[in-house]
Amino acid sequence: MKFDTLQQGITFYENYARVSGFDTRLYSTKKRKSDGKISLEYCVCNKEGFRETPRLHADCKKKRPITRMGCKARITLKLINDQDNYVIFSFHKGHTHPLTTPNSAHHTKQSENLTLAHKKYIIDNSRANIGATKSYRLMKEHMGGYQNMAASVTDFKNFQRDIRKHIRGKDAQMLIENFKRKQEMCSSFFFFKYEVNDKQHLIRVFWADAIERKSYASFGDVVSFDTTFSMNEYCMVFAPFTGVDNSKSCVTFAAALLYREDTESFVWLFEAFRDAMSACDPTCLISDQDPAMKIAIERVFDTSRTRHRLCMWHIMKKGP
């Protein structure tokens, strides 16, 4: 058989292996011409050759199973001298091991391919803080068993790893671009503000959407501000502005992420909050006993209209 490129020949043998019930790999030894082109490529069964001693895991507690059985199944792809095409120069069909059955074919590497549905499922679950392993188990239940998955848990982990590697160093920019798209869609209701340091690192960000601003217009007479939530990965403080509606349910008015809990950061945050709420100050602002927060409240809000009170939970918890 003749192939236009080397990859076409490799793909052909991989498809043949998937139907037959075994995995393939490329042989480490290649023959190249003087111009660097591969003249001979060997596609072998993954059980080709022997391994002298079982390799150990990094923790040196478990031995990896021996998978090499001296299998001779392979094809050799040879470059045609006067052309850039490849032909199958030799073919060995026999195996020294049993082939997989149709019921166990989903365990072979050739059948493990993430589809678009798999990738979307992993991304959607990651937004709900569900890891790759748990996503794989959940999807297995939805699909009715491992034989219907067409992917392994390692594929799920590798895809999630690749996503994190791709967005590393770009996550802050992705957040700001997401806010900008929301503002373009609803400029009169969505408000956000951010600030970076001299190293272009995001240190402060504030946002309030349409529902939150409408809730503040209806129930914003009393606002509770809390900074007890911290993020493990980014070391930033999550600071929500909350209140209570007529049903005595908590409602969110706005939220922010802060890198530091100092007076400068709180002044910036409270000014952004007033801008988002059209300079409509609350009647009462409840917070903890943070001195920097107290100074910032006195600088930004009119104390004659906005009364600052300490949270009862902090008083009962720390007062004794």
> Rounded mean pLDDT of 61-68?
65
**Is the pLDDT assigned to residue 175 strictly greater than 60?**
yes
**Other beta carbons within 10 Å of 93:** 9
* Dist. CA 172–CA 225, nearest whole Å: 24
Q: What DSSP character marks residue 146?
A: G
For the ranges 5-14, 142-151, 279-288, which has the lowest average pLDDT?
142-151
pLDDT tier at 232, thresholds 50, 70, 90: low
| pLDDT score for 84 | 77
- Cα angle, residue 70 at apex, residues 68 and 72 outer, rounded to 5°: 125
For the ranges 99-108, 125-134, 137-146, which has the lowest average pLDDT?
99-108
| DSSP secondary structure of 84-135 | S-EEEEEEE---SSPPPPGGGGGGSGGG----HHHHHHHHHHHHTT--HHHH
Mean pLDDT of the chain: 84
| pLDDT score for 275 | 92
* Dist. CA 70–CA 154, nearest whole Å: 26
**How far from 28 is each of 12, 25, 232, CA to CA, in Å?**
19, 9, 43
For 226, list phi and psi in degrees, rounded to 5: -135, 140
| pLDDT score for 263 | 93
Q: Domains in the chain, start-ordered, CATH in brackets?
A: 2-110 (no CATH), 113-167 (no CATH), 185-318 (3.30.420)
**Six token digits for residue 306:** 């906005």
